[in-house]
Protein backbone atom coordinates (compact mmCIF):
# COMPACT_ATOMS: atom_id res chain seq x y z
CA UNK A 1 0.00 0.00 0.00
CA UNK A 2 1.35 3.41 -0.97
CA UNK A 3 0.68 6.92 0.23
CA UNK A 4 -1.80 7.36 -2.67
CA UNK A 5 -3.93 4.53 -1.26
CA UNK A 6 -4.04 6.15 2.19
CA UNK A 7 -4.56 9.81 1.32
CA UNK A 8 -6.19 9.58 -2.07
CA UNK A 9 -5.55 11.85 -5.05
CA UNK A 10 -5.22 15.61 -5.17
CA UNK A 11 -8.46 16.70 -6.81
CA UNK A 12 -11.19 19.29 -7.20
CA UNK A 13 -14.52 18.10 -5.76
CA UNK A 14 -15.95 16.32 -2.71
CA UNK A 15 -15.38 12.65 -3.57
CA UNK A 16 -12.46 10.75 -5.09
CA UNK A 17 -14.84 8.19 -6.62
CA UNK A 18 -17.22 10.75 -8.08
CA UNK A 19 -14.57 13.28 -9.07
CA UNK A 20 -10.99 12.00 -9.50
CA UNK A 21 -12.02 8.55 -10.72
CA UNK A 22 -14.65 10.04 -13.02
CA UNK A 23 -12.11 12.44 -14.54
CA UNK A 24 -9.70 9.56 -15.16
CA UNK A 25 -12.42 7.53 -16.85
CA UNK A 26 -12.99 10.48 -19.17
CA UNK A 27 -9.26 10.87 -19.79
CA UNK A 28 -8.90 7.18 -20.61
CA UNK A 29 -11.79 7.34 -23.08
CA UNK A 30 -10.37 10.49 -24.70
CA UNK A 31 -6.95 8.85 -25.13
CA UNK A 32 -8.48 5.78 -26.77
CA UNK A 33 -10.57 7.96 -29.06
CA UNK A 34 -7.36 9.63 -30.21
CA UNK A 35 -8.39 13.15 -29.27
CA UNK A 36 -11.37 15.25 -28.18
CA UNK A 37 -14.82 13.86 -28.99
CA UNK A 38 -17.36 15.69 -31.13
CA UNK A 39 -20.30 13.88 -29.54
CA UNK A 40 -20.50 12.18 -26.17
CA UNK A 41 -23.27 10.18 -24.54
CA UNK A 42 -22.67 8.98 -20.99
CA UNK A 43 -24.97 6.37 -19.44
CA UNK A 44 -24.71 6.60 -15.65
CA UNK A 45 -25.30 3.57 -13.41
CA UNK A 46 -25.91 3.08 -9.69
CA UNK A 47 -24.47 5.74 -7.43
CA UNK A 48 -23.27 7.75 -10.42
CA UNK A 49 -26.89 7.92 -11.56
CA UNK A 50 -28.43 8.52 -8.12
CA UNK A 51 -26.07 11.10 -6.63
CA UNK A 52 -23.72 12.02 -9.46
CA UNK A 53 -25.21 15.44 -10.14
CA UNK A 54 -24.77 16.51 -6.52
CA UNK A 55 -21.22 15.16 -6.34
CA UNK A 56 -20.15 16.73 -9.62
CA UNK A 57 -19.78 13.42 -11.48
CA UNK A 58 -21.26 14.85 -14.67
CA UNK A 59 -18.73 17.68 -14.63
CA UNK A 60 -15.85 15.33 -13.81
CA UNK A 61 -16.61 12.88 -16.64
CA UNK A 62 -16.95 15.78 -19.04
CA UNK A 63 -13.74 17.38 -17.78
CA UNK A 64 -11.82 14.17 -18.49
CA UNK A 65 -13.17 14.06 -22.04
CA UNK A 66 -11.93 17.65 -22.43
CA UNK A 67 -8.44 16.63 -21.26
CA UNK A 68 -8.53 18.21 -17.78
CA UNK A 69 -6.71 16.54 -14.88
CA UNK A 70 -8.39 15.73 -11.51
CA UNK A 71 -6.77 18.76 -9.82
CA UNK A 72 -7.72 21.24 -12.55
CA UNK A 73 -9.65 24.16 -11.07
CA UNK A 74 -11.69 24.48 -14.27
CA UNK A 75 -13.64 21.26 -13.62
CA UNK A 76 -16.70 23.17 -12.30
CA UNK A 77 -16.76 25.02 -15.64
CA UNK A 78 -16.75 21.81 -17.72
CA UNK A 79 -20.19 22.35 -19.25
CA UNK A 80 -19.24 25.81 -20.50
CA UNK A 81 -15.88 24.53 -21.75
CA UNK A 82 -17.64 21.71 -23.62
CA UNK A 83 -20.02 24.20 -25.20
CA UNK A 84 -17.13 26.43 -26.24
CA UNK A 85 -15.41 23.38 -27.78
CA UNK A 86 -18.52 22.46 -29.76
CA UNK A 87 -18.93 19.14 -27.93
CA UNK A 88 -22.46 17.72 -28.04
CA UNK A 89 -23.18 16.08 -24.68
CA UNK A 90 -25.98 13.86 -23.41
CA UNK A 91 -26.30 12.15 -20.02
CA UNK A 92 -28.69 9.23 -19.52
CA UNK A 93 -29.49 6.85 -16.66
CA UNK A 94 -28.90 3.12 -17.15
CA UNK A 95 -28.96 -0.21 -15.37
CA UNK A 96 -25.67 -1.84 -16.40
CA UNK A 97 -26.25 -5.00 -14.39
CA UNK A 98 -24.01 -6.50 -11.71
CA UNK A 99 -21.20 -3.96 -11.88
CA UNK A 100 -19.65 -1.47 -9.47
CA UNK A 101 -22.19 1.23 -8.44
CA UNK A 102 -19.89 4.02 -9.67
CA UNK A 103 -20.04 3.02 -13.33
CA UNK A 104 -20.54 4.69 -16.68
CA UNK A 105 -20.68 3.73 -20.35
CA UNK A 106 -19.36 6.22 -22.92
CA UNK A 107 -20.55 6.32 -26.51
CA UNK A 108 -18.26 8.74 -28.32
CA UNK A 109 -17.68 10.08 -31.80
CA UNK A 110 -14.40 11.71 -32.79
CA UNK A 111 -12.36 12.58 -35.85
CA UNK A 112 -10.90 9.06 -35.93
CA UNK A 113 -14.23 7.25 -35.56
CA UNK A 114 -16.56 5.99 -32.82
CA UNK A 115 -15.74 4.42 -29.46
CA UNK A 116 -17.74 2.70 -26.76
CA UNK A 117 -16.20 2.17 -23.32
CA UNK A 118 -17.59 1.11 -19.95
CA UNK A 119 -15.77 1.47 -16.66
CA UNK A 120 -16.01 2.09 -12.95
CA UNK A 121 -14.48 4.40 -10.38
CA UNK A 122 -13.46 1.95 -7.66
CA UNK A 123 -12.23 4.32 -4.94
CA UNK A 124 -9.23 6.51 -4.21
CA UNK A 125 -9.30 7.90 -7.73
CA UNK A 126 -8.64 4.47 -9.26
CA UNK A 127 -10.56 3.14 -12.22
CA UNK A 128 -11.40 -0.19 -13.82
CA UNK A 129 -12.34 -0.32 -17.49
CA UNK A 130 -14.28 -3.50 -18.16
CA UNK A 131 -15.67 -3.17 -21.68
CA UNK A 132 -14.22 -1.64 -24.83
CA UNK A 133 -16.07 -1.72 -28.18
CA UNK A 134 -18.00 -4.81 -26.99
CA UNK A 135 -14.83 -6.64 -25.89
CA UNK A 136 -14.59 -7.59 -22.20
CA UNK A 137 -11.36 -6.09 -20.83
CA UNK A 138 -9.57 -5.50 -17.52
CA UNK A 139 -7.70 -2.18 -17.61
CA UNK A 140 -6.80 0.25 -14.83
CA UNK A 141 -4.90 3.02 -16.61
CA UNK A 142 -1.93 2.79 -14.26
CA UNK A 143 0.54 1.57 -16.90
CA UNK A 144 1.28 2.70 -20.46
CA UNK A 145 -1.16 0.52 -22.43
CA UNK A 146 -1.19 -0.74 -26.00
CA UNK A 147 -4.50 -1.99 -27.38
CA UNK A 148 -4.55 -3.73 -30.74
CA UNK A 149 -7.25 -5.53 -32.68
CA UNK A 150 -6.08 -8.34 -34.94
CA UNK A 151 -7.22 -11.65 -36.51
CA UNK A 152 -7.68 -14.38 -33.92
CA UNK A 153 -5.02 -16.73 -35.31
CA UNK A 154 -2.14 -18.72 -33.74
CA UNK A 155 1.19 -16.96 -33.30
CA UNK A 156 0.07 -13.35 -33.02
CA UNK A 157 0.93 -12.89 -29.36
CA UNK A 158 4.42 -14.32 -29.97
CA UNK A 159 5.00 -11.88 -32.85
CA UNK A 160 3.85 -8.91 -30.79
CA UNK A 161 5.91 -9.97 -27.76
CA UNK A 162 9.02 -10.24 -29.94
CA UNK A 163 8.55 -6.69 -31.25
CA UNK A 164 8.20 -5.36 -27.71
CA UNK A 165 11.29 -7.28 -26.61
CA UNK A 166 13.29 -5.71 -29.45
CA UNK A 167 12.37 -2.31 -28.03
CA UNK A 168 13.41 -3.49 -24.54
CA UNK A 169 9.88 -3.01 -23.24
CA UNK A 170 8.97 -5.03 -20.16
CA UNK A 171 5.41 -6.36 -20.23
CA UNK A 172 3.50 -5.90 -16.97
CA UNK A 173 0.36 -7.69 -18.22
CA UNK A 174 -0.77 -9.07 -21.56
CA UNK A 175 -4.19 -10.50 -22.27
CA UNK A 176 -6.20 -11.46 -25.33
CA UNK A 177 -9.91 -10.73 -25.40
CA UNK A 178 -12.38 -11.99 -27.99
CA UNK A 179 -16.10 -12.26 -28.53
CA UNK A 180 -15.92 -15.35 -30.75
CA UNK A 181 -13.28 -17.87 -31.80
CA UNK A 182 -11.59 -17.12 -35.11
CA UNK A 183 -12.91 -13.58 -35.43
CA UNK A 184 -11.28 -10.30 -34.48
CA UNK A 185 -9.52 -10.28 -31.10
CA UNK A 186 -8.33 -7.47 -28.86
CA UNK A 187 -4.89 -7.66 -27.26
CA UNK A 188 -4.25 -5.45 -24.23
CA UNK A 189 -0.63 -4.93 -23.17
CA UNK A 190 0.40 -2.94 -20.11
CA UNK A 191 4.10 -2.04 -20.15
CA UNK A 192 6.54 -0.74 -17.57
CA UNK A 193 7.90 1.76 -20.11
CA UNK A 194 6.37 4.05 -22.71
CA UNK A 195 6.70 2.38 -26.13
CA UNK A 196 8.63 4.37 -28.74
CA UNK A 197 6.68 5.56 -31.75
CA UNK A 198 8.75 3.23 -33.95
CA UNK A 199 7.33 0.23 -32.07
CA UNK A 200 3.76 1.43 -32.52
CA UNK A 201 4.47 1.93 -36.23
CA UNK A 202 5.87 -1.61 -36.45
CA UNK A 203 2.77 -3.02 -34.77
CA UNK A 204 0.50 -1.11 -37.13
CA UNK A 205 2.51 -2.48 -40.06
CA UNK A 206 1.82 -6.12 -39.20
CA UNK A 207 -0.36 -7.83 -41.83
CA UNK A 208 -4.12 -7.81 -41.21
CA UNK A 209 -3.90 -5.66 -38.05
CA UNK A 210 -7.15 -3.74 -37.67
CA UNK A 211 -6.00 -1.04 -35.24
CA UNK A 212 -3.31 -0.16 -32.71
CA UNK A 213 -4.04 2.39 -29.98
CA UNK A 214 -1.87 3.69 -27.16
CA UNK A 215 -2.97 5.13 -23.81
CA UNK A 216 -0.39 6.82 -21.56
CA UNK A 217 -0.44 5.96 -17.87
CA UNK A 218 -2.95 7.99 -15.89
CA UNK A 219 -0.82 7.73 -12.76
CA UNK A 220 0.77 5.23 -10.44
CA UNK A 221 3.52 3.31 -12.22
CA UNK A 222 4.80 5.27 -15.21
- Judge whether 58 and 13 are in contact, CB under 8 Å: no
The mean predicted confidence, pLDDT, of the chain is 89
- Judge whether 48 and 104 are in contact, CB under 8 Å: yes
pLDDT recorded at residue 5: 41
- Which has more confidence, 143 or 178? 143
- Which has more confidence, 16 or 22? 22
Last residue of a domain, one of 124, 139, 154: 139
Co-location of 40 and 99 in the same domain: yes
The predicted-structure confidence for 43-101, as pLDDT tens digits, reads as follows 999 999 987 676 789 999 999 999 999 999 999 999 999 999 999 999 999 999 999 99
The predicted-structure confidence for 134-147, as pLDDT tens digits, reads as follows 999 999 999 999 99
Of 159, 217, 216, nearest to 187 (Cα)?
A: 159
- Judge whether 119 and 17 are in contact, CB under 8 Å: no
Last residue of a domain, one of 112, 139, 166: 139
Dihedral sign from CA coordinates of 53, 111, 173, 149: positive
Please state at what angle helix 156-166 crosses helix 197-204, rounded to 10 degrees: 160
Q: Which domain holds residue 161?
A: 145-215
Distance of CA 105 to the CA centre of its chain: 11
Co-location of 12 and 37 in the same domain: yes
Amino acid sequence: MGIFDILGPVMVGPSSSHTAGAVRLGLFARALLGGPPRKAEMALHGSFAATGEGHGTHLALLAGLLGLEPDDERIPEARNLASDAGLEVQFTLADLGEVHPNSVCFTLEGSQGPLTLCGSSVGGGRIQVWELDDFPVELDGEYPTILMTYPDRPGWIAVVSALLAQARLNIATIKAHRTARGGVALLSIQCDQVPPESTLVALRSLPDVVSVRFVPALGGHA
